[in-house]
Amino acid sequence: MQLVRGLHNLRPQHRGCVATIGNFDGVHRGHQAILKRLRERAAELGLPSCVVIFEPQPREFFGPDTAPVRLTRLRDKLELLAREGVDRVLCLAFNRRLRELSAAEFVHAVLVEGLGAKHLEIGDDFRFGCDRAGDFDFLLQAGEAEGFSVEAAATVELDGLRVSSTRVRQSLADGDFALAERLLGRPFTITGRVLHGQKLGRQLGTPTANVQLKRRRVPLNGVYLVSVELEGRQLPGVANIGVRPSVKGDGRAHLEVHLLDYSADLYDRRISVTFHHKLRDEQRFASLEALKSAIDADVAAARAYWQGTQSN
């Protein structure tokens, strides 16, 4: 899959494609249905498929502290899009200049002059352009004038409700990982590189892998039963994700994973942490002794859980 960053990096060879536009946060089953139709239309027309995304996502630009928490970082999103067979991703910097484009200017600059799109697959609730003035009907009219076709993507429902990134976030907040997996089409996973941390867990007798998150906010908070795939094996563990209120920190979210009965060096390795069950909320402890007792109880609960799953 080819990544093009910004309109200025588009070249003549990039013109002519079947495109879709959106945030694609989580690349859930609703997104996957759009991408499946995108691939089908691209094959019918003999053209590459192209997904247009924004960085930051528009709501993050307008309100970074109030925007929905991301399900996937850009790197993870790109990997998921590649798995879905996308040929090309155009990542546009969402800045003041892009924000001030009218709907007509956006269509002309991005879809016509930039991509030379021949077909657009889009959600019927998609809004774009300055003040979100552009909608599906606007695109239909623009397509007739500019020579590209437009098709509304079918809504995907689960249990009678629309599959959406919002619904995935809510399922994670509720600790309903079975529902999150059904909505995503895969278990919820966070991937990152293992960095050196404060090594407090080692001092407390429970060494942890400090997984780099590269984001201030995450869709989970608390202590969870997790697994990590290493060397072809799924290794069970317990993880804390949050701001670590019991120790002096930087106010950012951290993910710390303790793997049961595993002591090899993980530093600098990129690992994927899959979440299975929530044990408890993150909490502040009055002393390191109280924190150690809670961690020991979490590890014991994790052992009991994983032993139970293995015996079933």
Q: Architecture of domain 188-310 in CATH?
A: Beta Barrel (2.40)
For 39, 286, 295, the CA distances from 292, given in Å and listed in that order, are: 52, 11, 5
Residues, the chain: 312
Q: How many Å apart are CA 300 and CA 294, to the nearest integer?
A: 10
Residue with tokens 């942490």: 273
Q: Is 35 helix (H, G, I), strand (E, B) or coil?
A: helix
Q: How many Å apart are CA 234 and CA 282, to the nearest integer?
A: 25
For 38, 47, 124, 188, 273, the CA distances from 85, given in Å and listed in that order, are: 10, 13, 23, 20, 24
Q: Where are the domains of the chain?
A: 2-158, 188-310
Model confidence over 281-312: pLDDT tens digits? 988 776 778 777 888 888 898 899 888 666 55
Burial class (CB in 10 A: 0-12, 13-18, 19+), 146: middle
Q: According to the model, what pLDDT value does residue 198 have?
A: 59
Q: Architecture of domain 2-158 in CATH?
A: 3-Layer(aba) Sandwich (3.40)
For 3, 151, 245, the CA distances from 120, given in Å and listed in that order, are: 19, 6, 47
Q: Is 81 helix (H, G, I), strand (E, B) or coil?
A: helix
* Residue-by-residue pLDDT tens, the chain, 312 positions: 999 999 999 999 999 999 999 999 999 999 999 999 999 999 999 999 999 999 999 989 898 888 999 999 999 999 999 999 999 999 999 999 999 999 999 999 999 999 999 999 998 778 888 878 888 999 999 999 999 999 998 889 898 889 999 999 999 999 999 999 999 999 999 999 998 765 555 555 577 888 988 877 889 999 999 999 887 888 999 999 987 655 655 667 889 999 998 877 888 899 999 999 999 998 877 677 877 788 888 889 889 988 866 655
Note the pTM of the prediction, 2 decimals: 0.90
Q: According to the model, what pLDDT value does residue 261 have?
A: 83
Q: According to the model, what pLDDT value does residue 283 have?
A: 80
Q: How many Å apart are CA 39 and CA 275, to the nearest integer?
A: 31
Q: According to the model, what pLDDT value does residue 247 have?
A: 60
Q: According to the model, what pLDDT value does residue 64 have?
A: 87
